[in-house]
């Protein structure tokens, strides 16, 4: 505003309207009309909605958003006690996890801090359209969408800072969680820079042989290195990490994997979150049966591990990362 020769307080007005209320320029009635027109022309708010899908009786909304040349997905999930937004940090992903729809795309590009945070603005508008009982302001953010957040750490950290800003979105740090396949340097930086933000590690296998197959990045950062970094994060933050485990039929859902996972979870004092796999069309990976899911959880509990089974949301709208984008591109099938 100062560079435009206008009062600086207009900048504070605009910032608050954009990030606290999720307003568009046309809604900022406290600004002069000429300024609103100039903002829309010279500083357009990024994030064009290409497609939206709704499921779970209106409680889950998934959007395909375009930021310049990058197209990413964002999901809003309304629960009884909270409203969670799952945001993307990259377009595509370089980690190449075999069971993930995003992994088949490869890395197409990094999002900026503003583009990551702007997904919350979309969620604010989508939340207003949810059924009355679920309608509220987004309360939680999970960086579990497209991409590996730690591979775009500078932008991730900038987005977190923006979401926590009391003058803007003003979210609570403990309501933010960053998910990673296990990038040790990123885990350590997150603990140093944002000690109140949660950590979820997508382990998916409890030995290096199987994890090399499911999560190829394990060849760079094997389990021992990931465990050490998570332990340092826990000691620094005094918070409990989560272990994410996508349950894949006949691959990582056997009792042997549960017995290997139990001492890892106990050592890290971690909570294990079992995730029924969202099956991707043409993929050979299939979700575990409900009985196998329950048996795996029971075995972990018998070993003294805290376990939950994630509530599957959005399966009828293909809410797993990458699925909606694949509908809008001519990507090849799994091979």
Task: Clarify whether residues 285 and 141 are in a common domain.
Answer: yes
Task: Clarify whether residues 78 and 147 are in a common domain.
Answer: yes
Confidence of residue 132 (pLDDT cuts 50, 70, 90): low
- The CATH code of the domain that includes 66 is 3.20.20.70
Report the pLDDT value the prediction gives residue 312, as an integer from 0 to 100.
Answer: 66
Task: Clarify whether residues 276 and 128 are in a common domain.
Answer: yes
Mean pLDDT of all residues in 295-303: 98
Confidence of residue 319 (pLDDT cuts 50, 70, 90): very low
Task: Clarify whether residues 67 and 136 are in a common domain.
Answer: yes
Task: Clarify whether residues 124 and 2 are in a common domain.
Answer: no
Confidence of residue 120 (pLDDT cuts 50, 70, 90): very high
Task: Clarify whether residues 139 and 35 are in a common domain.
Answer: no
Confidence of residue 282 (pLDDT cuts 50, 70, 90): confident
Examine residue 332 and state whether it is found in any structural domain, yes or no.
no
Examine residue 335 and state whether it is found in any structural domain, yes or no.
no
pLDDT digits (tens, 9 = 90+) for 158-216: 999 999 999 999 999 999 999 999 999 999 999 999 999 999 999 999 999 999 999 99
Please tell me which residue in 93, 97, 100, 321 is annotated as part of the active site.
321
Examine residue 334 and state whether it is found in any structural domain, yes or no.
no
pLDDT digits (tens, 9 = 90+) for 7-43: 999 999 999 999 998 889 999 999 999 999 999 999 9
**Domain with 13 in it:** 1-45
Q: Is 73 a catalytic residue?
A: yes
Q: Could you give the percent of the chain with pLDDT greater than 90?
A: 76
Number of domains within the chain: 2
Please tell me which residue in 52, 73, 97, 303 is annotated as part of the active site.
73
pLDDT digits (tens, 9 = 90+) for 200-236: 999 999 999 999 999 999 999 999 999 999 999 999 9
Helix H, strand E, coil C: the string for the chain is: CCCCCCCCHHHHHHHHHHHCCCCCHHHCCCCCHHHHHHHHHHCCCCCEEEEEEEEHHHCEEEEEEEECCEEEEEEEEECCCCEEEECCCEEECCCCCCCCCHHHHCEEEECCHHHHHHHHHHHHHHHCCCCHHHCCCCCEEEECCCCCHHHHHHHHHHHHHHHHCCCCCCCCHHHEEEEECCCHHHHHHHHHHCCCCEEEEECCCCCHHHHHHHCHHHHCCCHHHHHHHHHHHHHHHCCCCEEEEEEECCCCCCHHHHHHHHHHHHHHCCEEEEEECCCCCCCCCCECCHHHHHHHHHHHHHCCCEEEECCCCCHHHCCCCCHHHHHCCCCCCCC
How much is the pTM?
Answer: 0.90
Report the pLDDT value the prediction gives residue 80, as an integer from 0 to 100.
Answer: 82
Q: Is 331 a catalytic residue?
A: no
């Amino acid at each position: 505003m100062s560079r435009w020769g206008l009062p600086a307080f207009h900048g504070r007005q605009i910032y608050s309207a954009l990030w606290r209320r999720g307003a568009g320029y046309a809604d900022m009635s406290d600004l002069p009309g000429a300024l609103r027109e100039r903002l829309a022309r010279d500083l357009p708010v990024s994030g064009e909605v290409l497609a939206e899908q709704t499921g779970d009786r209106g409680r889950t909304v998934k959007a395909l958003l375009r930021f310049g040349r990058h197209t990413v997905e964002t999901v809003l999930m309304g629960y009884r006690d909270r409203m969670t937004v799952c945001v993307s940090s990259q377009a595509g992903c370089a980690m190449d996890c075999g069971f993930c729809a995003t992994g088949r795309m490869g890395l197409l590009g990094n999002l900026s801090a503003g583009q990551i945070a702007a997904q919350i603005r979309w969620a604010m508008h989508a939340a207003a359209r949810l059924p009355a009982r679920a309608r509220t302001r987004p309360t939680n953010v999970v960086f579990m969408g497209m991409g590996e957040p730690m591979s775009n750490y500078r932008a991730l950290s900038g987005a977190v800072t923006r979401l926590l800003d009391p003058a803007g979105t003003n979210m609570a740090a403990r309501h933010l969680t960053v998910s990673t396949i296990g990038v040790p340097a990123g885990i350590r930086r997150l603990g140093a820079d944002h000690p109140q933000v949660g950590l979820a590690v997508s382990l998916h296998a409890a030995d290096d042989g199987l994890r090399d197959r499911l999560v190829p990045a394990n060849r760079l950062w094997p389990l021992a290195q990931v465990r050490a970094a998570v332990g340092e994060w826990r000691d620094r933050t005094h918070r409990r990490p989560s272990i994410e485990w996508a349950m894949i039929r006949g691959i990582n859902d056997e009792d042997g994997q549960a017995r290997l996972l139990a001492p890892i979870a106990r050592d890290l004092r971690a909570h294990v979150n079992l995730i029924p796999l969202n099956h991707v069309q043409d993929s050979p990976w299939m979700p575990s049966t409900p009985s196998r899911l329950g048996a795996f959880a029971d075995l972990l509990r018998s070993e003294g591990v805290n376990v939950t089974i994630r509530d599957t949301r959005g399966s009828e709208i293909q809410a797993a990362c990458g699925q909606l984008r694949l509908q809008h591109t001519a990507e090849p099938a799994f091979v």
